[in-house]
Amino acid sequence: MKPSSILVTGAAGFIGFHLARRLCSDGWQVYGLDNLNDYYDPALKEARLKQLEGFKNFTFAKADIADQADMDRLFTEWKPETVVNLAAQASVPYSLENPHAYTTSNIVGFMNVIEACRHGKVKHLVFASSSSVYGANKKMPSSTSDNVDHPISLYAATKKANELMAYSYAHLFGLPCTGLRFFTVYGPWGRPDMSVFKFTKALYAGEKLDVFNYGNMRRDFTYVDDIIEGVMRVIPLIPKTDAAPYRLYNIGNNKPEELMDAIRWLEEETGIRAILNMLPLQPGDEVETCADIADLTRDTGFKPVTPLKKGIGKFVAWYRDYHPLANKPEMQA
């Protein structure tokens, strides 16, 4: 596909920022929107956005996908050919505290986006789902052919709802839709509520690391550059199936890692011994995740290339650069 116009929602978010930067570098006309909310420190989002604003082919609007008028206006003004919807309220634990944030962003917001795509005759809607939809499933690795009718968090339920909504629009209106189930994304410019970021911050602050399920957890940690490569390969791959132009893929590392190994590698990279606070499993959390990526590899040639130890090293290097205080000896006491 020749680079053309593309809208990235959640462009100041972790994955959205990396994707928008890659698209800009590859010559696309990139439109980005984000509401810059305070779910985590907006300064991090502003710092990401500042980098994107250095590209002449990047246009940004502060807007909320839950605002239908804003979505209708921006789609009419920008007329994007392709849309990647990454704006969402993320995190399993927070969905227990503030469930309405999830229905507002992930249900109402997604509805506004998909309706705007329909009326704007968008050629391809790519949207973020989550490995959380696998919920109570025990089979590993998780496949998109598995039943996912047992979500164990509201967050997972809203992401499954997005998949159903997209299928109905693909079937009814011929809107090509591809859903991507992301698996434990980490890396530079990451989200502060994710484990690698939280653990690194705690190490440098001399604080305890909250380790759930007493450390007996395995995660399919996926480095952000691998995620972006997968998304880039999916964007031009417009589904054309008979029943509905719709497709689902897992994007993961296809190699679950022990959580305690991740902590050990963080200790090596920071040079700081972790103080562990062992806790029971959180409500709504999964003990293990592992992505079956055979379909994605078959259709796009995608294969993750970043081992967890190497990715953790890159993250810690970024963290030290972004948080200069982390380099001071007193922070490592």
pLDDT in tens, 14-43: 999 999 999 999 999 999 999 999 999 999
Phi, psi of 177 (to 5 degrees): -135, 135
> What are the tokens at 159?
């992401």
Nearest Cα to Cα of residue 190 among 2, 16, 8: 16
Whether pLDDT at 206 is above 80 = yes
Burial class (CB in 10 A: 0-12, 13-18, 19+), 251: buried
Please give the structure tokens belonging to residue 277: 């606070």
pLDDT value, residue 322: 92
**Strand-pair partners of 277:** 210
Please tell me which residue, 287 or 202, carries the higher pLDDT value: 202
Give the strand pairing for 124-130 and 275-278.
unpaired
Query: What superfamily does domain 195-218+255-289+307-332 belong to in CATH?
Result: UDP-galactose 4-epimerase, domain 1 (3.90.25.10)
Q: What is the pLDDT of residue 331?
A: 41
Mean pLDDT of 177-199: 96
Give the per-residue pLDDT at 106: 96
How far is 208 from 202, CA to CA, in rounded Å?
Answer: 6
Q: Distance of alpha carbon 133 from its chain centroid, rounded?
A: 14
Using pLDDT thresholds of 50, 70 and 90, give the confidence band for residue 333.
very low
Share of the chain above pLDDT 70, in %: 96
Q: Is 179's pLDDT higher than 80? A: yes
Cis peptide before 99 (omega within 30 of 0): no
Q: Looking up tokens 């984000």, which residue turns up? A: 34
Confidence of residue 332 (pLDDT cuts 50, 70, 90): very low
pLDDT band, very low/low/confident/very high, at 47 (cuts 50, 70, 90)? very high
Burial 284-319 (b: 16+ CB within 10 A, else e): bebebbbbbbebbeeebebebebebeebbebbbeeb
Of 62, 65, 64, 53, nearest in space to 24 by CA: 53
Contacts of 227 (CB under 8 A, 6+ apart): 15, 18, 182, 185, 251
Average pLDDT over residues 243-256: 94
Contacts of 216 (CB under 8 A, 6+ apart): 259, 287
3-state secondary structure at position 50: helix
State the pLDDT at residue 133. Answer: 94
Q: What is the CA radius of gyration of the chain?
A: 19
pLDDT of residue 329: 43
189 DSSP 8-state letter: T
Same fold, 5-186+222-251 and 195-218+255-289+307-332: no
pLDDT given at position 325: 57
pLDDT value, residue 287? 87
pLDDT of residue 41: 92
Q: What is the distance between the terminal CA atoms of the chain, rounded to a whole angstrom?
A: 53
- Where does the pLDDT of residue 186 fall: very low under 50, low under 70, confident under 90, or very high at 90 and above? very high
Whether residue 319 lies in the annotated active site? no
Rounded to 10 degrees, the C-alpha dihedral 120/124/128/134 comes to: 120
Delimit the domains of the chain by residue range. Answer: 5-186+222-251, 195-218+255-289+307-332
Q: Which residue has the higher pLDDT, 288 or 315?
A: 315
- Choose, from 155, 246, 249, 319, the residue flagged as catalytic: 155
At 212 the pLDDT is 93
Considering the entire predicted model, what is its pTM? Answer: 0.94
pLDDT higher for 95 or 47?
47
Averaged pLDDT of the chain: 93
Contact criterion met (CB below 8 Å) for 256 and 218: yes
For residues 268-293, give the mean pLDDT.
91
Residue range 118-127: mean pLDDT, rounded: 97
Selecting from 1.10.1740.10, 3.20.20.70, 3.40.50.720, 1.10.3080.10, what CATH number does the domain 5-186+222-251 have?
Answer: 3.40.50.720
Residue type, 156: A
pLDDT at 2: 57
Distance CA 70, CA 327 (A): 43
Dihedral sign computed on CA atoms, order 124, 125, 128, 130: negative
DSSP 59-121: EEEE--TT-HHHHHHHHHHH--SEEEE------HHHHHH-HHHHIIIIIIIHHHHHHHHHHTT
